[in-house]
Amino acid sequence: MQALTSNQNVLKWINQIVSLTNPSEVMWIDGSDEQLNKLRNEGCSTGELKQLNKEKYPGCYYHKSHSNDVARMEDRTFICSREKENAGPNNNWMSPDDAYELGREIFKNSMIGRTMYVIPYSMGPIGSPFSKVGFEITDSIYVVLSMNIMTRIGQKALDVLGDSNDFVRGVHSKCTLDLNNRYIFHFPEDNTIWSCNSAYGGNVLLGKKCFALRIASYQGWKEGWMAEHMLILGIENPKKEVKYVAAAFPSACGKTNLAMLIPPEIYRKKGYKVWTVGDDIAWLRIKEDGTLWAINPEAGFFGVAPGTSKKSNYNAMMSTMKDTIFTNVVYNLDDDTIWWEKFDDNPPENGLDWKGNPWNGKKSQEKGAHPNSRFTAPARNCPSISSEWESPNGVPISAFIFGGRRAKTAPLVYQSRNWQHGVFVGSILASETTAAATGKVGVVRRDPMAMLPFCGYNMGDYFAHWLNMGKKINNAPKIFHVNWFRTNEDGEFLWPGFGENFRILEWILRRCDKEVDAEVSPIGYLPKVQDIKLEGLNISHKQLENLLTIDCESWLEDVAGIEEFYKKFGSKIPEELSKELNTLKNNLNNYLSSIVA
């Protein structure tokens, strides 16, 4: 097939990969419905895909990956910078020379007898000043169709690129799916990603975490912008005014639920609405007037299926009802539909589990869907999708929110004193495992800005980049921390969460607009109890006070953990953050002394 571009930088690189992998055919993906439909039909004919019930799930397909290939491989994911220090202790490192040599050995002749698909794509709206162009070379129809959902593919991306050499070079091959030779190499200094011996989305949809976070975070560091593991949310008040926040949460902390939140009925009746701009990744740039704006670089949702239901996340479920690919879920043989745990209370009796084995959901003791089974759904399907989600200008950010799962330490919400303190709050972000039956606190896992697995360079430099960005922003977004997961002595949650979290978002925006005061505490600014609206909620002011208390002993224990975490980065930890840590320690000790006195 004839190339769709005359860009010599692109053609030279593609010819190199063709010589290395030796495919039987090269197909350029132009993004047309005609071409994509042919690939869907071919995928179904080979068994790579199954078309679902056309009436119940129009345009939807079922896909199953190999049983040893069902999740991101953190231990096989490498940052291949020329200097090991540039990768930092937050990443696995391999020298570029060694990684390229190993990758060439694995990729050599890997596409014999296969078609090579060349996918040009744009991360971000076509032509936006925020956006970047990438290519993914792959031998997987599943990857082509998934990238069509997750990004903007085809000729339109090539038209924007023109003759430029500023594009990310992604190469993927299923190879033999050999677990022992499965690698995801990132070469941030070369704008290159190589992924081999996997067919699972998280390892092979190279526009997502690989480009949009690991490579883009490095690009942002060098070019003066930010790539963050953040949802973007718009909150509309009864006056039709919309304010936007960006929020970062480690896994299992309610990120997707917040991105697609539905306000409580009492707020909906007053005219409040929530708009989803993005559920996972934000690219942020400072505009000419010094304000900070963000886009969602993705075009779809790559969500975890189990636990998602119309009750837990109605908007996410509605997003999957057409043009979606479901991976490693239960297949219902009776009506060609899908199911997963907590989908509803009516599992199929005549189904196939995620491994393809016969499965009766009424009798089986084994789970039918893999715990990390996925849906890949177009963002345009989401009922709460913002009218601005594809705006080339992005949306202005009023606040950053960091959130962790803490049983005792963090209050329901607090605000940082300033940008520098806010960066410190993000840098110490953590979640913990809890034994709910006894209320015992488990292991605290640090995940700064929820970026620990996704930062493409040394996190000490990443913290410094955050601090430097703050110096360039006029009227910088306020920075907050939330914790929906505080528990009582019996391990029961004190806050109802889900849609009720809107009440905290409202307080956050009122703080941004200077409509309410706050209490000064050792850790930052706390809400005054009367300023969190509890109307229609079965929580007393005394219970809310408990949710907002500061347990200094727990915080001082946390300080010791922060000190240990910071030590990993040595001299790379910015002096400003070390000062903030000392301030926190002194504030807590002084507060304790005042109580004793």
Q: Is residue 49 part of a domain?
A: no
My answer on whether 19 and 157 are in the same domain is yes
Do 253 and 344 reside in the same domain of the chain?
no
Residue 168 lies in a domain: yes
467 with 376, same domain?
A: no
The domain of 356 spans 301-381
* Dist CA 26 CA 135 (whole Å): 14
Q: Return the HEC string of 342-392.
A: CCCCCCCCCEECCCCCEECCCCCCCCCCCCCCEEEEEHHHCCCECCCCCCC
CATH of the domain at 508: 3.90.228.20
- Give catalytic status of residue 253 as yes or no: yes
Q: Which two structure tokens, joined as six digits, stand for 140?
A: 């997987």
351 and 462 both lie in a single domain: no
- Out of 196, 253, 382, 455, the active site residue is 253
* Residue pointed to by tokens 């926040």: 245
CA neighbours within 13 Å on the CB side: how many for 162? 3
CA 453, 459, 461, 462 torsion: positive or negative?
Answer: positive
Domain-located, residue 215: yes
The 10s digit of each residue's pLDDT in 196-231 is 999 999 999 999 999 999 999 999 999 999 999 999
Structural domains counted in the chain: 3
Measured from the Cβ of residue 12, the count of other Cβ atoms closer than 10 Å reads: 9
Measured CA to CA, the distance from residue 472 to residue 536 in angstroms comes to 42
Which DSSP symbol is given to 476? P
List phi, psi (to 5°) of 133.
-100, 140
Residue 1 lies in a domain: no
pLDDT tens over the chain, length 597 residues: 689 999 999 999 999 999 999 999 999 999 999 999 999 999 999 999 999 999 999 999 999 999 999 999 999 999 999 999 999 999 999 999 999 999 999 999 999 999 999 999 999 999 999 999 999 999 999 999 999 999 999 999 999 999 999 999 999 999 999 999 999 999 999 999 999 999 999 999 999 999 999 999 999 999 999 999 999 999 999 999 999 999 999 987 889 999 999 999 999 999 999 999 999 999 999 999 999 999 999 999 999 999 999 999 999 999 999 999 999 999 999 999 999 999 999 999 999 999 999 999 999 999 999 999 999 999 999 999 999 999 999 999 999 999 999 999 999 999 999 999 999 999 999 998 644 333 445 689 999 999 999 999 999 999 999 999 999 999 999 999 999 999 998 889 999 999 999 999 999 999 999 999 999 999 999 999 999 999 999 999 999 999 999 999 999 999 999 999 999 999 999 999 999 999 999 999 998 888 765
The residue among 390, 421, 214 whose CA lies nearest residue 294 is 390
CATH of the domain at 104: 3.40.449.10
Residue ending a domain, among 354, 381, 408, is 381
Question: Within this chain, do residues 213 and 246 fall inside the same structural domain, yes or no?
Answer: no
Closest by Cα among 43, 57, 37 to 326: 57
Same domain, 324 and 456: no
**How do 330-332 and 300-304 pair as beta strands?**
unpaired
How far, in Å, are 142, 303, 414, 432, 480 from residue 402 at the CA level? 34, 20, 10, 15, 6
Q: Please state the pTM of the whole predicted model.
A: 0.96
CATH code, domain with 315: 2.170.8.10
Q: What is the pLDDT of residues 382-395, one digit of tens each?
A: 999 999 999 999 99
Q: Pick from 193, 223, 253: which residue ends a domain?
A: 223
In a domain, 444, yes or no: yes
